[in-house]
Amino acid sequence: MKPPTKTPVSDYLAQLVGQSVNAIDTPGLVIDLDAMKRNLGRMAEFARKHDVRWRPHAKTHKSVQLAKLQMQAGAVGICVQKTAEAEVMVDGGVYNIYISNEVVASPKLARVAALAHRIAAENGQLSIAVDSAEGVNRLAQAMNEARSQAAAGAVVDVFVEIDVGQGRCGVPPGKAAIALVHEIRKHPALRFAGLQAYHGKAQHLRSAQQRRDAIAIVADDVIYTRRVIEAEGVPVDLVTGAGTGSMVCEAASGVFGELQPGSFLFMDADYAQNERDPAQPQFEHALFVKTQVISSRDDHAVCDAGHKSHAIDSGLPLVRAFDSECELEYFNGGDEHGILRPAGGSRRVPAIGRMLWLIPGHCDPTVNLYDFMIGVAGGLRKGTVERIIRVDARGAAT
Ligand SMILES: Cc1ncc(COP(=O)(O)O)c(C=O)c1O
């Protein structure tokens, strides 16, 4: 199935390339490319040092271009959360994809099976998570139907998801996984590839010790589950999981062979509130909403970026003014407005027309609000627009 037709690059965006950062209209989603590349380099170095694979989550950027950049930097492939995201990535030429989520609807599974064959034809690999026998059987049925039409039969790698504290998808750690492993192994189009153990809630525990404690329990759950599966004579080749907040703990556990962080690429305001584990690479904010002041009074200013410009599910954005005398706090002003008040002892209210940079509370849903990201090289104050990056999988929700 073809993804919906994409919005063409407008004349405005096309003409921006090569121009000063000052030419970017507001509100606009901007990537500080230098900071993003440093984040990428630090992630690659971290994975090398700890001898783990990394498979960054593309739900963060939804961009084929950035997925390819991550793979050039050493990522084994990407994670996606949705079948439609996987389709967009395959259309763009990304052929090592893990759908780190349960897919159970038959029409979607037919698309998953079609993708598995397209990817296999490119010598790539499609993987998927499961947490029910029903899900396994539906996937197997879709694969069998696709196989009967294909010249060569593709095989999907299947990870059994265990619930290690998130309270979302996954079977309980331990014996419940065994039945699923046996179910998977009944089907020639499926290969049991290992376990998914992702603890989303642990990512945002504020102290490093809290995260270490949470992931120590995760590691115990994984070890126990792996032991009961291997006692049945079935090897568990790979354990995959982790996000930006906790990945140092999974990497140090010796249990995880693959890390799935996504947010490290852009680093949102929410993650900035985590106490940094000394072992954690120093990731920088790299995604910004450029905004400008449209109204100014004695005690506050108003900017043109409200919550249609950035997601607020993880809190309001931080404001970067690049001026030590102008510190500002952002308050919700509705869909199209942000209220800015002096903060941190500063009394200066920015004047009309002043450009400011917001660090979104949560990057992933912010990116999903835009068709394009504007990549700036040379810094946000004096840099130049280097390229326009399409949010290819914007709205790819099915
Ligand atoms: C299964 C899974 N893996 C990895 C991630 C990446 O987490 P983060 O963006 O916090 O690094 C997520 C995020 O929600 C996820 O759901």
Beta bridge partners of 32: 376
Mutating to test ligand 1, I would choose from 198, 239, 270, 363 the residue with most ligand atoms within 8 A of its C-beta, which is 198
Which is nearest to 181 in space by CA: 102, 238, 234? 234
Contact by Cβ (8 Å): 300, 349: yes
What is the reported pTM?
0.96
Atom 14, ligand 1: residue with shortest CA distance: 200
Percent with pLDDT over 70 in the chain? 98
Asked if 250 contacts 218 with a C-beta cutoff of 8 angstroms, the reply is: yes
* For residue 338, pLDDT beyond 90: yes
The answer, yes or no, to whether any atom of ligand 1 lies below 6 A from the CB of 260, is yes
What burial class does residue 358 get, using C-beta atoms within 10 Å of its C-beta: 0-12 exposed, 13-18 middle, 19+ buried?
A: buried
pLDDT at site 323 = 86
Digit-coded pLDDT (tens) for 253-310: 999 999 999 999 999 999 999 999 999 999 999 999 999 999 999 999 999 999 999 9
Q: Could you tell me if the CB of 288 is within 6 A of ligand 1?
A: no
What is the separation of C-alpha 68 from the centre of its chain, rounded to a whole number of angstroms? 14
Q: Report pLDDT for 3.
A: 52
